[in-house]
Structure 1
């Protein structure tokens, strides 16, 4: 059985079109993020719970603590946790955590 020349051309176009669509399907969209990236939404953004006690100031008017570069006083909340006590180099929180100033910063060498 012999195919007509027009049938050969039609067959060639159909096979070529199938190959092209297979190649196109295997190509990666260049606008998508890389393989190791993750996407987050505002509802799933992870909040950093690390609290750093930067300094403590005790005056006649009361004690103030600088935590994560923000000023707080006893009774206020930091990241939703109430500050229950401010000492000369520590801050106690209602959830049981105790923040301490890094001693190497507050002490003068040799004293």
Structure 2
């Protein structure tokens, strides 16, 4: 009887270790980079001419516009486009675009 018990234990042991090995093969190493579809994993940078008007400062006859976190004055170019007008809450560009401040900043709801 001893050989039958030991062979049954051996079979049970082998089945359990094979099961663990198969399960371990399907687990992903959490320290490895994520799966990719063959494309580059780098962060895409915007190469288009998207511009964000961050703020405007006007005092007397001078006006400054902060666009993409850089300070510009009237007549200067931002990404190759000349600034033709700096208003209280907007900037007009020579290519016809008009950059405006965020709605929440310029619109005071409930105030008359």
Same fold (TM over 0.5): yes
Unaligned segments of structure 1, at least 5 residues: 1-33, 40-44
- Matched with 1:104 is 104
Work out the number of aligned pairs and report it. Answer: 75
- Shift in CA distance, 46/58, structure 1 to aligned 2, threshold 3 Å: closer
3-state SS of paired residue (2:57):
strand
Distance 1:86 1:107 in 2: 18
Q: Deviations over 1:22-70 (max 9, x none)?
A: xxxxxxxxxxxx542149xxxxx86231101111110124011010111
CA RMSD of aligned residues (A): 2.4
Alignment of 1:1-111 (within 5 A): 35-38=37-40, 47-111=47-111
For normalisation by structure 2, the TM-score amounts to: 0.57
SS state at 1:105 partner:
helix
